[in-house]
Amino acid sequence: MPWLAPRLAALIVAMSQVRVRFAPSPTGFFHIGSARTALFNWLYARHTGGTFILRIEDTDQARDSAEFLRLIYDSLSWLGLNWDEGPNPHGEGERGDYGPYRQSQRGAIYQRYLQQLQDAGRAYKKDGAIWFKQLGDRYTVFDEHRQKEVEKVKRGPVVINDLIRGRVERAEDEDFVIVRSDGHPVFHFVNVVDDIEMKVSHIIRGEDHLSNTSKHVCLYEGFGVTPPAFAHIPLILKSPEMGQGKMSKRDKGALVEEYQQRFFLPPALVNYLSLLGWNPGDDREKMTLDEIVRLFDLPGVNQSNAKFDGKKLAHMNMLYLLELPSEKFVASAKEYFAGQPTGATVLANETYFADVMMLAQPKIKSIDELAAYTGYFFTDEFLIDEKVRAKVMGKGEPKQRLVELIAALPTLDFSDDGAIEAGIKTLAESKSLGFGDYQAVARLAVSGTNAGPSITSIFRLLGKERTLSRLARFAQAS
C-alpha cells in the first residue's frame, strides 16, 4: 500500500528519535566523571540528530544547594555541552515540552504515577513508606549481610539489554521502597517516571548504576512501559598515583571547576574525556568536535574502566594551545592575569603584554603556567634559580662574558631579533667564541632562570635600558 509509506516513514522517524538526558543532582562539585557522562549523552544526541535533555534531580533537600546547581550550568556551558531541553543556563525559566525539568517541581506527576501503581496493585504501604510490589510467591530468608529476615519473591531474573555490555541478568527478588515515610519519592521511582514522561529513548549513565537498573526495569514493567535502551559506560578510576578505586570529588584533578580556573581549553578537555572509554576505531586522538560527533557511537564504547591520566590531558591541552589563534590566546591570558595578584601590573601595558604572551604561547602546557613563566618580564624583583646559577656560573668564564656584553650593549642594534642576534654573534666572533657563551649567563642575569623564549626576544621586549640595568646589577652582585 503505497499511501501508507509516508506515514510509516514518519512513524519510524518518530520512533527512532533519540532522546537522551543528563540528570545530575546539585549535591556536590561537578566532577570529571559526571562531565564524561554528560559528554557521552551529548555526543550521542548530536551524532544521531536527537535531543539532549538536562534534568536536575534536586530531591535531596538536605544536601542540595543553589551554588552546586549553578556549577552544573556553568560547567556544562563551559565545556560547550549545550542542552536542548531543561532549565535555562542562567537559571531563569526553562525550555522544552516535557517540563518541569527540576524534580523538585514534579511532585504532581509523581503522585499520578504512584496512583497508577497503587491502582494496579503494584504498590503498598508498610512502616509508613510505600513499597513496590514484586509479583510471585513469597518466602522469607535470613540475610547474613543485613542481619535480618527478608521477604523474597520467587520470580525469574530481570533481563537488561545493554548496548555496551550485552545481555545482563540480575535477580531482583525483593519489594523495595519507592516513597519514603517522610513522603519523598526515592531516586529509582522518580528517575523512571521522568524518563518515561520525558520520552527518553536511551539511558546512558555510569556503570555504577547497572545494579540499580534491574529495579528500574521492574518499575517500567509495573507501569506497563517498554524500557528504553540502556548503555552503561565504564567508570573513571583514580590514576595509580592517586590510589585505588573510582575517582571521587576529593581527588586532585577530579573537578571540572579546577580546569576552568586553570584556564584549560574546553575543547582539549572534551577531546581527552571522549577518549576515556571510547576511541574512533583507529589511531586518531586529536580530533575536532565535529569529527568526534560524527564518529561517536554507543557500540564503540569500551566495557572496562579507565584510569585518569593528568599528564595526557596536559599534553592534549598543549596541542590545543599551540594552534590557538594568538588573539584568543592573549585574551585568555588577559582573563587569567586579571585574577592574579600581579594582574594590575602585568596588564598595565596592553601591547607589551600581548608581545610577551605571544612569546610564551608555544612554550607552555597550560595558561596557568603563565605567571611563573613570564614573571620577570613584568618586574625587576624576580628570583634567581640557585641551581641554574650554580650550573651556569660554573661553566667557562661567564663573568667575563657578562662584562663584554655590558660593554657592547650600548651600541647594539635593538630594532629586531635578527639585529640583536647579529650583534651578539659579532661580539662572540671577535672573542673567537659562540653565541651560546653569552646566551646562558645573559639569560640568567635577565630572567633568573634557564627556561624561556629566545634571549634575543627577551632583550628586545625588555628594551635596551632594562636589559642593561639587569645585566649590570647581576654582574655587580656576583
Write down the least CB distance from residue 226 to RNA, Å: 21
The C-alpha atoms of residue 381 and residue 92 are separated, in whole angstroms, by 48
Nearest to 32 by CA among 312, 322, 368, 319: 312
Write down the least CB distance from residue 340 to RNA, Å: 21
H or E stretch covering 130: strand 129-132
Question: Is 249 annotated in the active site?
Answer: yes
81 versus 359: smaller Cβ distance to RNA: 359
The C-alpha atoms of residue 135 and residue 221 are separated, in whole angstroms, by 11
What is the number of residues in the chain? 478
60 versus 221: smaller Cβ distance to RNA: 60
The C-alpha atoms of residue 363 and residue 368 are separated, in whole angstroms, by 12
Q: What is the DSSP letter of 419?
A: H
Write down the least CB distance from residue 371 to RNA, Å: 16
Asked if residue 255 lies in contact with residue 35, where contact means CB atoms within 8 angstroms, the answer is no
182 versus 290: smaller Cβ distance to RNA: 182
The C-alpha atoms of residue 298 and residue 278 are separated, in whole angstroms, by 9
Neighbour count for residue 174 (Cβ, 10 Å): 15
Catalytic pick from 249, 311, 328, 399?
A: 249
Nearest to 231 by CA among 30, 13, 20, 12: 20
Write down the least CB distance from residue 423 to RNA, Å: 12
Torsion of CA 92, 98, 100, 102, to 10 degrees: -90
283 versus 290: smaller Cβ distance to RNA: 283
312 versus 464: smaller Cβ distance to RNA: 312
192 versus 237: smaller Cβ distance to RNA: 237
187 versus 378: smaller Cβ distance to RNA: 187
The C-alpha atoms of residue 164 and residue 303 are separated, in whole angstroms, by 7
3-state secondary structure (DSSP) of residue 268: helix
Write down the least CB distance from residue 369 to RNA, Å: 10
Write down the least CB distance from residue 439 to RNA, Å: 4
46 versus 188: smaller Cβ distance to RNA: 188
Residue entry with cell 663584554: 404
Write down the least CB distance from residue 115 to RNA, Å: 19
Please state whether beta strands 123-126 and 129-132 pair in parallel, antiparallel, or not at all (unpaired).
antiparallel
3-state secondary structure (DSSP) of residue 88: coil
Write down the least CB distance from residue 18 to RNA, Å: 22
The C-alpha atoms of residue 202 and residue 268 are separated, in whole angstroms, by 27
Please state whether beta strands 94-95 and 166-170 pair in parallel, antiparallel, or not at all (unpaired).
unpaired
Nearest to 221 by CA among 185, 198, 196: 196
Residue entry with cell 513469597: 138
| Helical spans, DSSP H, in 152-209 | 187-197
Active site residues: 249
